[in-house]
């Protein structure tokens, strides 16, 4: 059986480029999506020479309507694409009150809107086929408001929730959805966000990150956190969340919110 083609966003460098390398070596054809066509061409030429797989280049800025629309069309129309890797992402440096609204709007466009739109573009075809995979690359920052990256963290919380929601909805229809949550990883996102090198924490290598994520992919994990060594902590977190669900069905406020007790 021919391996399905993989479309990877943010494929010109970092996590996306390593995903491209690993899937090519597994025999998958690729569609590489990013703004930097020259870097993607160089990567595509190298991987084709080394693996023989067919690689298409689709330059697109996912912060712009035309860019997102072009990738949506490719996902809808190319029946050979069986895996979507929603990897493209941005960060914005500085505290919330000094960040520009233009930068924040672009952040949300790439990290939230494009992720949702591309998943939505491909989902009907995957459901109709009864198979397909959506990999959404988020971040542990979406679990840690204490890190102080309010809007970036909120976009990554969205990616996790979207992934879990899609797994619940699409999983029974044959579509596998994986959320990958890296912590600090050695990508260009730090320099692009203007991070102070002295403040950057120890970083996991990109190769190690993607190889671990692919182990989770092969195991069909719904959520993969390569940096988390104690998996029981995630299980406990999930169990505590699920345990609250029945309590949300109450029709009266909890006694602690009675006005006569304040």
- Distance, in Å, from the CA atom of 35 to the CA atom of 41, rounded to the nearest integer, reads 11
H, E, C per residue of the chain: CCCCEEEEECCCCHHHHHHHHHHHHCCCCEEEEECCHHHHHHHHHHHHHHHCCCEEEEECCCCCHHHHHHHHHHHHHCCCEEEEEECCCCCCCCCHHHCCHHHHHHHHHHHHHHHHHHHHHHHHHHHHHCCEEEEEECCHHHHCHHHCCHHHHHHHHHHHHHHHHHHHHHHHHCEEEEEECCCCECCCHHHHCCCCHHHCCCCECHHHHHHHHHHHHHCCCCEECCCCCCHHHHHHHHHHHHHHHHHHHCCCCCHHHCHHHC
> Alpha carbon 122 to chain centroid distance?
15
Active site residue 237: no
**β 175-180/55-59 pair status:** unpaired
Q: Which of 19, 152, 237, 257 is catalytic?
A: 152
Distance, CA of 143 to CA of 59 (rounded, Å):
32
List, by residue number, the catalytic residues. Answer: 152
């Amino acid at each position: 059986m021919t391996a399905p083609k993989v479309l990877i966003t943010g494929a010109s460098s970092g996590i996306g480029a390593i995903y491209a390398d690993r899937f090519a070596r597994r025999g998958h054809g690729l569609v590489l999506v990013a703004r930097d066509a020259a870097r993607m061409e160089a990567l595509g030429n190298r991987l084709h020479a080394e693996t023989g797989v067919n690689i298409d280049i689709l330059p697109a800025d996912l912060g712009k309507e035309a860019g997102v629309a072009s990738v949506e069309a490719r996902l809808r129309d190319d029946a050979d694409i069986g895996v979507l890797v929603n990897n493209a992402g941005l960060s914005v440096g500085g505290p919330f009150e000094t960040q520009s609204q233009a930068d924040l709007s672009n952040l949300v466009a790439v990290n939230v809107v494009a992720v949702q739109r591309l998943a939505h573009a491909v989902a009907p075809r995957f459901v109709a086929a009864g198979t397909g995979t959506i990999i959404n690359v988020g971040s542990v920052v979406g679990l840690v408001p204490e890190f102080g990256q309010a809007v970036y963290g909120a976009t990554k919380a969205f990616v996790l929730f979207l992934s879990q929601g899609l797994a619940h909805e699409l999983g029974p229809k044959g579509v596998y959805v994986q959320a990958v949550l890296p912590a600090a990883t050695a990508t260009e996102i730090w320099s692009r966000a203007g991070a102070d090198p002295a403040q950057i924490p120890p970083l996991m290598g990109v190769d190690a990150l993607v190889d671990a994520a692919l182990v989770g992919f092969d195991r069909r994990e719904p959520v993969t956190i390569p940096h988390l060594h104690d998996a029981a902590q995630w299980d406990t977190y999930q169990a505590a969340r699920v345990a609250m669900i029945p309590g949300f069905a109450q029709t009266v406020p909890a006694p602690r919110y009675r006005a006569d007790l304040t």
